[in-house]
Amino acid sequence: MSGTKKTIVQRHKIADYLNVGTEEAPEWVLMGTGFTTLDESPGAQTESVKYVNEASSSSCVTGYETSFPFEAEHIVEEEAVDAIYMVGRNHYTGSDAEFEYCRVELWNKASGGSASATAYEARKFRVSCEVSDYSGENKQTISGNLNAVGDPVLGTFDIKSKKFTEAAA
């Protein structure tokens, strides 16, 4: 048995934030209380080819179709949950059903001279909000997917100031 330490990332070490404001005046709110599930499915797209001189096919990743399946109890005071509910309630489509979404790695401190003590590595996505179900016998729950629109933007997120900073190119 190896004596090497293994750090396993637990779910509470991933912080999810939804911008319920605008891109010009962001208002990032934590997607915590209310959410019972908020996962990530990278959805790698692959292409395979088998050459005539090979017995097996070769595959390569050609793109991603990322989605973030969620389920949340509808707690009106939780701004992220209520913003998602409004998309389904009002049947928003197109850009009206889109948000900025940040996934923050709380185990991965931001590095660099200008990084604050409360900044962590993060990815910012534009997502379309797909509300697929609103149900419950007692508590009402909302479920669906946040579907990535385009590529993620790498950077850092300061959990105190609630500011995303894009990584230098």
Question: What is the distance between the alpha carbons of residues 130 and 155, in angstroms, rounded to a whole number?
Answer: 25
User: Who's near 10: CB < 8 A, 6+ residues apart?
Assistant: none
Strand partners, 120: 109, 157
- Please give the pLDDT value at position 116: 84
- Cβ–Cβ under 8 Å, residues 70 and 105: no
Averaged pLDDT in 10-residue chunks for the chain of 169 residues: 84 97 96 97 94 92 96 96 97 97 96 80 98 94 97 96 92
Element (H, E) at 156: strand 153-158
- Please give the pLDDT value at position 114: 63
pTM of the model: 0.91
- Please give the pLDDT value at position 2: 67
**122: its two tokens:** 């993060």
CA distances from 121 to 31, 106, 157 (A): 17, 8, 6
Return the closest-CA partner of residue 78 out of 114, 33, 36, 46: 33
**112: its two tokens:** 């660099």
